């Protein structure tokens, strides 16, 4: 594992997704790995930490997550803009070699049987809390965050370091039609 | 109504929240208005447009939303950093004059009985789709977006204009402890 990757305490895991970045979601089942882009991932609870993830049934990831009960949410950076968009606009259903064609590199963390995307800013491994009505009526999945890690060059001591790192590390925030924003400047509120 | 406020087609309403900005959520019931800050608001569907909103029972807003079945999600700007943090750290339960003390200014749009916060970048009026299990087990509310508006100085023709407007218009993305980021630079993916 990359020497810069460090575990994030689960009670601080929400900070990795609280600013609303677009994510990459990876999954594995029956020897098949996949990675998709997802903007609709959101914090749900602090303790135990949970998140919501909207996962349409048109995505192959849906099948893998339903069968494995696991997925990983990753925070890609500006360096991964093209990769993120490519993974979000190509389906494993249409291209069984999607991952090879995307150029994505994967790694694993011991004890968690889910593929992780190299060079992201952060990784959250989630276990599905089954809620069949939400999944069927809304494509809405709830995940408990059971492991969290970040690259210490951009998140350390519980804090994002966007203001202290190269702009290539900034998180991506998708709108539509291939148009993204990166996260911007830092501000601290003075009011108590 | 401010001459810059224009209706946004409902099929494009998701673009107002897709980049994961921290929001202000307003509500009204029985002559009581309230406004809170909420980072855990997220797109759920395009057509009809829906969003999710995590609303803890410690918030007075929970009571108002449960009784009225409505709420409004707003996108505050950097100009409203202190207001947003103040509204997010003070409760109407502790201070019945919270809104007066916050200095927030409200307005209304005809046909929608919910208070709206002046000077935001965008407004989405939502009707609760009742899901008692989600609300009780997860504090998770689902809203159908029944009206959407934006300030044309920062969102027009279906597109955010962050890259073309003064930095004071940028959306806020909360982490924790009074620490925010604004949205940053624009990038277009080249890949199809």
pLDDT per position as a tens digit, A126-164: 999 999 999 999 999 999 999 999 999 999 999 999 999
| DSSP-assigned states of every residue in B76-118 | -BGGGHHHHHHHHH--TTT-TTHHHHHT--EEEETTEEEEEET
H runs (alpha helix) in chain A: 60-68, 81-89, 98-102, 132-138
- What residues pair up with B95 in beta bridges, in sequence order? none
Asked if A17 and A73 count as a contact pair (C-beta separation under 8 A), the reply is yes
Q: What is the mean pLDDT of residues B43-68?
A: 97
User: What is the Cα B25 distance to its own chain's centre?
Assistant: 5
Q: What is the pLDDT of residues B163-189, one digit of tens each?
A: 999 999 999 999 999 999 999 999 999
Q: What is the token pair recorded at B74?
A: 């707003």
Quick check: A173 and B20 CB within 8 A? yes
Taking residues A86-105, report their average pLDDT. Answer: 97
- Report helix, strand or coil for B58: coil
Q: Which residues of chain B from 103 to 142 reach within 8 Å of chain A, CB to CB?
A: 131, 133-134, 138-140, 142
Q: Nearest-CA neighbor of B99 among B81, B87, B107?
A: B87
- Residue B32 carries which DSSP code? E
Q: 10 Å Cβ neighbour count for B191?
A: 15
> By CA distance, what is A186's nearest residue in B?
B181
Query: Which is nearest to B142 in space by CA: B51, B70, B46?
Result: B51
A168 to chain B, any CB pair closer than 8 A? The answer is no
B32 interfacial to chain A (CB closer than 8 Å):
no
Structure tokens at B169: 């218009």
Average pLDDT of the residues in A165-188: 98
pLDDT band at B144 (very low <50, low <70, confident <90, very high): very high
Say yes or no: A41 contacts chain B, CB-CB below 8 A.
yes
Any idea which residue has 């202290």 for tokens? Answer: A164
CA distances from A89 to A40, B49, B53, B81, B94 (A): 15, 21, 27, 35, 48
Which token pair is A52? 């919501």
Q: Return d(Cα B10, Cα A62) in angstroms, integer.
A: 27
Phi, psi of B87 (to 5 degrees): -65, -25
Q: Is the confidence metric ipTM above 0.90 for this complex?
A: yes
The three-point CA angle A87-A17-B148 to 5° equals 85
As a dihedral over the C-alpha atoms of residue B66, residue B68, residue B70, residue B73, rounded to 10 degrees, the angle is -80
Q: Is B165 on the interface with A (CB under 8 A)?
A: no
Give the per-residue pLDDT at A192. Answer: 64
What's the mean pLDDT when you consider all of chain A?
97
> Which residues on B lie below 8 Å from A184 (Cβ)?
170, 181-185
Instruction: Give the CA count within 13 Å in the CB-facing half-sphere of B165.
Output: 20
- Reply yes or no on whether the pLDDT at B12 is more than 90: yes
Q: pLDDT band for A101, please (50, 70, 90 cuts).
A: very high
Task: Let me know: does A53 contact A139? Beta carbons within 8 Å.
Answer: no
- Give the pLDDT score at B191: 72
Best residue in B57, B88, B189 for a mutation probing chain A (most A CBs within 10 Å): B189
Residue B159: C-alpha distances to residues A62, B16, B125, B140, B164 (Å): 30, 9, 19, 29, 11
Structure tokens at B93: 């339960």
Q: Which residue of chain B is at minimal alpha-carbon distance from A21?
A: B20
- Percent of chain B, pLDDT > 70? 99
In chain B, which residues have their Cβ closer than 8 Å to the Cβ of A167?
A: 185
Per-residue pLDDT, averaged over A109-118, amounts to 98
Cβ-based neighbour number of residue B83 at 10 Å: 23
Residue B73: CB atoms within 10 Å:
25
Given a cut of 90, whether residue A9 has pLDDT beyond it is: yes
Average pLDDT over every residue of B145-173? 98
Name the DSSP class of B23. Answer: E
Closest CB to B20: pick one of A19, A184, A185: A19
Give the pLDDT of residue B73.
99
pLDDT at B192 over 90: no
Percent of chain B topping pLDDT 90 = 98
Closest to A89 in 3D by CA, of A24, A171, A136 = A24
Record: contact B173-A19, CB cut-off 8 A:
yes
Flag whether pLDDT at B32 surpasses 90.
yes
């Amino acid at each position: 594992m990359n020497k810069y990757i460090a575990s994030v305490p689960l009670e601080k895991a929400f900070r990795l997704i609280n600013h609303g970045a677009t994510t990459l979601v990876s999954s594995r089942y029956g020897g098949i790995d996949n990675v998709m882009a997802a903007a609709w991932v959101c914090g749900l609870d602090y303790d135990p930490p949970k998140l919501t993830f909207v996962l349409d049934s048109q995505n192959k990831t849906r099948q893998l997550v339903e069968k494995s009960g696991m997925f990983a949410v990753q925070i890609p950076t500006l360096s991964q803009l093209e990769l993120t968009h490519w993974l979000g606009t190509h389906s494993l259903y249409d291209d069984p070699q999607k991952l090879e064609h995307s150029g994505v590199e994967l790694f694993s963390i011991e004890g968690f049987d889910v593929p992780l995307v190299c060079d992201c800013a952060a990784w959250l491994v989630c276990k599905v809390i089954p809620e069949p009505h939400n999944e069927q009526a809304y494509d809405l999945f709830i995940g408990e965050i059971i492991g969290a890690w970040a690259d210490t060059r951009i998140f350390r001591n519980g804090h994002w370091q966007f203001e202290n790192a190269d702009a290539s590390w900034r998180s991506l925030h998708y709108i539509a039609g291939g148009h993204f924003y990166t996260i911007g400047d830092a501000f601290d509120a003075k009011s108590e």
